[in-house]
Structure 1
């Protein structure tokens, strides 16, 4: 099997590449290195430096003849989407359409797409199931939701299979301070050098944090599921407040952490937790790592 991973030099994408290499797949990474790092790329994978928005992507996929594509390349932050909606749309929507055209013309069997819990917006009832109301509060969430609709229509009109994975807040090794789960990377990095942790809001807001290796496994299993052409939540189903997260980190680091509070950021949701029963049943997947274990592994990588 031959798989293309866009954004495969990035945080999540590089862990997916590792899982594919472990399974013996011929794996190609496509990344423009705007956020990714070449050092993240498994040496057993072949690397191509390219942006998903480039017009010759059709020629590349036509020459390579991939069986599957895992699409991780994206603009991934809420603040940037609000500061520059045009860029967010260009990368997350136009980049996807360019890739879908390349997949359609080159005979790709299935695309696995990284979506986000941001498509739901700020819900009143948790945990969220996949059919819950979707009212994104940021252009990032809107672009991901729009991308999902493109995938649905490409399947209905052209037969291109897809699986959409709506990530909760992903964390783990190789993460930078940006992205939806970047608070953990930021907090741990600052904790190790004794800098204060900045909490936006009062800290009672909650998130569903999922370890990156669990996310990589979900992507791997999405390649083979017979229950394709739909969306799945990928999280733990558990919500934890930012204040609780800080207390857990304090126990792991083994010293008091200084915390300072700042006004909430525009577009951020207040509470989040995803119901994952569909993914467990149809992808034969479930999260393996507890938050404490994942944080411990992330902390070890930073020391």
Structure 2
């Protein structure tokens, strides 16, 4: 199999590139940096904001993993042009290139928990009610809708994987992305971990290796073609995770009142129903949060 990974220097894109290469795939990376962080089959520097840069994109692959983008919440209101140019126009540049290919590769698009309306203590299936509280959430929903449109109108196949909270690392260091990364940075520095409110919101946490495994195995199943799948994982409240990390590093967890903006942006519980992907691939999670935390 041949795969193009756009965003191969990013957190999940880098892990996917390594993982696919370990499975014997030919992996061709694309990113804005002049060089690639990995030793892969080939690397091309490409700015997804520039339509002309996609003249250098080779469509002769089986899959295109679009894992490039800008994340964030309130920050997007100050730099909204970048969020639109990178997260929306960049994807359209790719799709416009792929739709004219003689053999169209499948687009693999990562979406987010932030497209869901959070519901307390409730598993959210792929068809659960949606709500968009941030520009980034709208970017992700735009991405989901536009890859479906290109499938309907131009026969470009796709698979969408919604990811809740990733953590862990398969490389030399123990850095974790996002929520867990923030907690670890504080704890390792000997500082208290801070949470808003009482840390009650619940999330589905998935080790990055399990994200790669689920995507890889699901892609080989017919049920993943032109379909949307939640990545499965383990459910914890933010408080539970923070307290476990704090205990390991002998720091405390402190609680602060919600700032007005953050309270408005908070989604509440986003607990994934992973039954669709679990039934498709029938493979248990390889990693658990507690085991991973003990190992770092």
TM (norm. structure 2) is 0.88
Aligned residue in 2 for 1:290: 288
> How far does residue 43 in structure 1 lie from its aligned partner after superposition?
1.5
Cα distance change, pair 170–78 in 1 and its aligned pair in 2 (3 A)? same
Aligned residue in 2 for 1:23: 23
> How far does residue 45 in structure 1 lie from its aligned partner after superposition?
4.1
Q: Deviations over 1:134-191 (max 9, x none)?
A: 11211111111111111111111111110000001111126878xxx51211211221
Alignment of 1:90-239 (within 5 A): 90-106=85-101, 107-124=103-120, 126-173=122-169, 182-227=178-223, 228-236=225-233, 238-239=234-235
Q: Deviations over 1:89-140 (max 9, x none)?
A: 2211111111111222233321111111111133356110001111121111
2:156 and 2:281 mapped to 1: Cα distance? 19
1:294 and 1:263 mapped to 2: Cα distance? 30
1:175 and 1:46 mapped to 2: Cα distance? 27
- Give 5+ residue unaligned stretches, structure 2: none
Q: How many residues align?
A: 288
Q: Secondary structure at the match of 2:12?
A: helix
2:293 and 2:152 mapped to 1: Cα distance? 41
Q: Secondary structure at the match of 1:269?
A: coil
Matched, 1:13 2:9: no
Q: Secondary structure at the match of 1:74?
A: coil
Cα distance change, pair 225–166 in 1 and its aligned pair in 2 (3 A)? same
2:108 and 2:24 mapped to 1: Cα distance? 18
> How far does residue 53 in structure 1 lie from its aligned partner after superposition?
2.2
Is residue 169–residue 208 contact of structure 1 (8 Å, CA) maintained in 2?
yes
Is residue 184–residue 245 contact of structure 2 (8 Å, CA) maintained in 1?
yes
> How far does residue 82 in structure 1 lie from its aligned partner after superposition?
3.6
Aligned residue in 1 for 2:2: 2
Q: Deviations over 1:199-248 (max 9, x none)?
A: 13331122211111111112222432211101000132x43122211221
- Report the RMSD for the aligned CA atoms in angstroms: 2.3
Q: Deviations over 1:9-65 (max 9, x none)?
A: 1111111011111011111111114xxx967x3313422222222223442234x62
Is residue 57–residue 99 contact of structure 1 (8 Å, CA) maintained in 2?
no
1:273 and 1:136 mapped to 2: Cα distance? 16
TM (norm. structure 1) is 0.86
Cα distance change, pair 94–44 in 1 and its aligned pair in 2 (3 A)? closer
Cα distance change, pair 283–52 in 1 and its aligned pair in 2 (3 A)? farther
